[in-house]
């Protein structure tokens, strides 16, 4: 599973990187590893699932939008009317960052941090007969960790490829999240393992 490998999360030229000062350098550094992992998965016959995030007027409640703004220290009204909306469908920010989904790949759309809550991911995995998951992609300490936790709670065996799982929130958050996952929710490996 690739998590949130989209321009708004990864590309320095996307709005969050340019105007909101989000540090996407770890994403840029790790993208080649992500692409390699996906390519090797395809060669091994492993189903590739790309999880993408979308902000839409109907998917972000007013209360949830306000809470996100408070957490981010922003007081501007209207998540989707602000410059801080992420991955709005049809925009450059919502497109995959250097990732080229193939016709046989599966795309799952999420509207919250977790790829499992409120999506068809669990049903898709059950239909594929898969109980082991390999995670890579963005937001190690938020979206990726939330997805791993929820998958673990549904009895999936979770593996996170640490050098293919960046975050814009710094080395301390990155390491803490990987330690959390290793402690209780899955296995943490590197691309070469």
DSSP-assigned states of every residue in 154-189: TT-EEEEEGGG---SSHHHHHHHHHHHIIIII-EEE
143 is catalytic: yes
DSSP type of residue 56: -
Asked if 175 is an active-site residue, the reply is no
- Active site residue: 110, 136, 158, 164, which one? 110
Structural tokens at position 63: 């209360």
Helix, strand, or coil (residue 94)? helix
Residue 10: active-site member: no
Catalytic member of 4, 8, 11, 55 = 4
Dihedral of the alpha carbons of 56, 59, 61, 65, in degrees to the nearest 10 = -50
Reduced to 3 DSSP states, what percent helix, strand and coil does the chain have, rounded to the nearest 5? 45, 15, 40
Instruction: Tell me how far apart the alpha carbons of residues 74 and 30 are, in angstroms, rounded to a whole number.
Output: 29
Contact 50, 128 (CB under 8 A): no
Catalytic residue among 10, 87, 136, 143: 143
Q: Count CB-CB contacts under 10 A for residue 149.
A: 18
**Angle made by CA atoms 110, 147, 28, in degrees to the nearest 5:** 80
Residue positions annotated with a catalytic role: 4, 110, 143
């Amino acid at each position: 599973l690739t998590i949130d490998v989209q321009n708004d999360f990864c590309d320095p030229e996307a709005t969050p990187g340019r105007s909101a000062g989000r540090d996407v350098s770890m994403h840029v550094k790790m993208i080649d590893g992500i692409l390699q992992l996906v390519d090797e998965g395809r060669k091994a016959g492993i189903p590739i699932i790309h999880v993408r995030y979308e902000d839409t007027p109907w998917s972000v409640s007013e209360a949830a939008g306000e809470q996100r703004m408070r957490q981010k220290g922003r007081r501007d009204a209207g998540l989707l009317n602000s410059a801080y909306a992420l991955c709005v469908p049809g925009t450059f920010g919502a497109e995959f960052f250097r990732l080229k989904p193939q016709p046989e790949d599966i795309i799952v759309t999420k509207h919250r941090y977790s790829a499992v809550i409120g999506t068809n991911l669990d049903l898709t995995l059950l239909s594929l007969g898969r109980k082991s998951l390999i995670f890579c992609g963005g937001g190690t300490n938020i979206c990726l960790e939330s997805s791993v936790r929820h998958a673990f709670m549904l009895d999936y065996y979770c593996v996170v490829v640490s050098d293919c799982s960046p975050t814009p929130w710094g080395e301390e958050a990155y390491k803490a999240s990987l330690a959390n996952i290793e402690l209780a929710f899955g296995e943490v490996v590197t691309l070469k393992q």
